[in-house]
Amino acid sequence: GAVVSQHPSWVICKSGTSVKIECRSLDFQATTMFWYRQFPKQSLMLMATSNEGSKATYEQGVEKDKFLINHASLTLSTLTVTSAHPEDSSFYICSARPGTVPYEQYFGPGTRLTVT
């Protein structure tokens, strides 16, 4: 149990275009999902917390107009990187939390984004 999927697993896009990444909890309902970014040899950086049916909460320094998050259902959250630039190239990982304590998070396999 506790399987989280992400799509696509990797994507290459041109500078200035937008990319949408999907995160799905496959066998549980996720009241909360999280989006992280990880650069090579660095730890996870939380970008935002997404709650179903409400606006995402962004971490300090993360541009909410650039990284659009939608949590439309209890099993799906999407991250859209708008007007992507090469510096947005990174490993984007989502995680999902079942709606009960004790706060375990299960990670998706990640999406590797390359902006050319």
Partner 1 sequence: QKEVEQNSGPLSVPEGAIASLNCTYSDRVSQSFFWYRQYSGKSPELIMSIYSNGDKEDGRFTAQLNKASQYVSLLIRDSQPSDSATYLCAVNKGNQGGKLIFGQGTELSVKP
Question: In terms of CB distance, is 82 or 110 closer to partner 1?
Answer: 110
- Neighbouring C-beta atoms of residue 19, cutoff 10 Å: 18
Angstrom CA distances, 76 to 19, 66, 83, 86, stand at: 16, 20, 23, 27
Q: Which stretch, 21-29, 64-72, 74-82, 108-116, contacts partner 1 (CB under 8 A)?
A: 108-116
Q: Does 80 bind partner 1 (CB under 8 A)?
A: no
**How many residues line the site for partner 1 (CB under 8 A)?**
22
C-alpha–C-alpha distance, residues 6 and 113, integer Å:
12
Fill in the DSSP letter of residue 88: G
Q: Report in angstroms how near the CB of residue 12 gets to partner 1 at its nearest.
A: 16
Question: In terms of CB distance, is 17 or 46 closer to partner 1?
Answer: 46
Residues near 109 by Cβ (< 8 Å), separated by ≥ 6? 4, 5, 6, 9, 93
Q: Report in angstroms how near the CB of residue 16 gets to partner 1 at its nearest.
A: 27
| Partners of 56 in beta bridges | none
Which listed residue (3, 12, 46, 72) binds partner 1 by CB under 8 A?
46
Residues near partner 1 (CB under 8 A) are 2, 32, 34, 42-44, 46, 49, 51, 57, 93, 97, 101-110
